Chain A
Amino acid sequence: MSDFEPTIVAFFCNWCTYTAADLAGTSRLSYPHNIRIIRVMCTGMVDPQYIIKAFLEGADGVLVSGCRPGDCHYINGNYKARRRIKLLKEILPQFGFDQQRLRLTWIGASDGIHLAEIMRTFAGQIKALGPSQTKLKMVI
């Protein structure tokens, strides 16, 4: 399926990764258009249900990205996010989701270049994995 273009939902924290995405934009860096960014105030507010919903609605990949350890605007939201991602990486594979489809990264506000690289790598990996089953089939 060479013409497959994945849909990737990305939850970016307002203070670091979203700012990095802004920086990438103002620096005229390009990254794949497959990524739909949702700005959240902190990765610590990304309830597992948002990620589950994204997958069940047919997202091929979900990326959660926040501040580097120690940089969280709310002190420890990113550590809480890490536990939730760990939890989901344990639950979702049981139902046949490849755990590579769910990723967590830390990207600082000044890392525009890094952000563009990560986006390219992730989009490439998801493209290689092929479309998610939830995209092709009816989900009850």
Chain B
Amino acid sequence: MTITARIDMREQNPLEALQQFFAGILKLEDITAILVPQRLPTKNTIMPTLVTDASFLERVDPLAPSFPMNAARIASRLTRKPMGGKVAAVLRPCEIRAFIELVKLKQARREDILLISVDCLGALQNREYSKFAEQNGTESTLRFYKNVIGGNINEMEGVEFATACKACEYPVSENADIQIGLYGMKAGESILVKSQTEAGDHILKKMNLSEINEPPSRQDAIKTLISQRTGYRDEMFVKTREASDNLDKMTAYFSSCVNCYNCRVACPVCYCKECVFVTDVFNHDPYQYLQWATRKGIIKMPTDTLFYHITRLAHMSTACVGCGQCSNACPNDIPLMELFRTIAHKTQKIFEYEAGRSLDEKPPLSEFREDEFKEVVGID
């Protein structure tokens, strides 16, 4: 049974309504702690916080256009072993999808966590956000909320959203236990709360909310948003393919890469404890570089740049959720997300897989069928 309810805002402030709701959840016996993005007291920075005392929820802000990291990694840290309590985690839809991938890759457990997602309004690149929220953080979030709900889904006061967000066709999470709806609700009046699993039902039942039917305007608004985003995404695919379809173009694409591997560190689904690219395998002997250079007369240093990126595509593209943290983490602004999503779209399609869609579908490279892909075998 699904429970759908409404929470009214006071003084048109969705943050205060969310704060009350999260405090209510934290006060329930079932929930020991809540993982929620908050504005840090010292600076206008939003970071995930783990809160056990409801009086520390004053600065909750899951709506800010700030996406400093994919918190699926944090959720994985909290759930990889039993933590001695249950945590409610407020995550963006792409964070939930990454978390689901991590559960399937045995890096996290679904048992001790209640997934709450707020409709995602999108975000700015990290450095754009610090400029945007410089003056008054909370007030800037409220402006941003009205801007997006008012239909402006690509830019905010002259600043473009992160490309990953503009191309994201999953603004609403289907896999969260509790979904908090903003789209299709009247801006500044109320937000929707909806349970999508038994665990979600169980929690909402205890909260005595005023139940309503989901307003039809909501599904319409979501549908329109998704089709706009999909259009943008498909254009991005065409452009990215064109920009990378031979060796010269690939070289140009990655020419400013300094092998810092930040994209791998920021990637929520790149889960290897020790990536082969930072092991001694790549700590080549000095004479090796000389040999390589002698072969063609020149090598670019540091070496293995394309090798790293193409290998990462082979290893991770079937799990890519398109959160864009790779692009966010790149010191030289290489459009990594664009390439990853373009390839991931194809590789996930051939295995009829969609990263983060369901816990029941195994990761494509961890299973096989006897009767498949016969066309790749044999030489005539």
Contacts and interface: CB of A to CB of B under 8 A. Distances in A.
Interface in A44-82: 48-49, 52-53, 56, 69, 76, 79-80, 82
A91 B364 contact: no
Interface in B333-352: 342-343, 346-347, 350-351
How extensive is the interface on chain A, given as a class? 35 or more
A89 B347 contact: no
Contact of B307 (A53, A91, A92): A53
Given A80-B365, A94-B244, A87 B307 contact: no
A104 interface: yes
Contacts of A92: 310
Interface stretch (B22-30, B94-102, B111-119, B313-321): B313-321
Interface in B257-297: 257, 276, 296
Contacts of A90: 343, 346-347, 350
Contact of B276 (A49, A96, A139): A49
A96 B245 contact: yes
B310 A95 contact: yes
Interface stretch (A11-19, A21-29, A34-42, A130-138): A130-138
Given A49-B276, A86-B376, A122-B379, A80 B247 contact: no
Contact of A118 (B247, B296, B364, B379): B379
A55 B271 CA distance: 26
B377 interface: yes
Interface in A116-140: 118, 121-122, 125, 133-134, 137-140
A106 to B, nearest CB: 6
A53 B365 CA distance: 20
Contact of A138 (B246, B299, B342, B369): B299
A95 B364 CA distance: 22
B306 interface: yes
A77 B291 CA distance: 35
Contact of B311 (A49, A103, A106): A49
A137 B247 contact: yes
A96 B246 contact: yes
A33 interface: no
A140 B305 contact: yes
Nearest to B314: A48
B373 to A, nearest CB: 5
B347 A87 contact: yes
A76 B369 CA distance: 10
B378 to A, nearest CB: 6
B140 interface: no
Given A53-B307, A94-B241, A105-B379, A83 B373 contact: yes
Contacts of B370: 69, 79
Contact of A82 (B299, B306, B314, B376): B376
Contacts of B360: none
A87 B318 CA distance: 9
B247 A79 contact: no
B254 interface: yes
Contact of B377 (A76, A84, A104): A104
A85 interface: yes
Nearest to B241: A94
A138 B241 contact: no
Contacts of B255: 140
A137 B251 CA distance: 10
B340 to A, nearest CB: 11
12 contacts: A48-B311, A86-B350, A86-B376, A87-B318, A87-B350, A94-B244, A118-B379, A133-B247, A138-B298, A138-B299, A139-B247, A140-B251
Given A83-B364, A91-B346, A138-B300, 13 more contacts: A49-B307, A49-B315, A52-B314, A79-B370, A83-B373, A87-B350, A90-B343, A96-B245, A105-B379, A125-B379, A133-B247, A134-B247, A137-B247
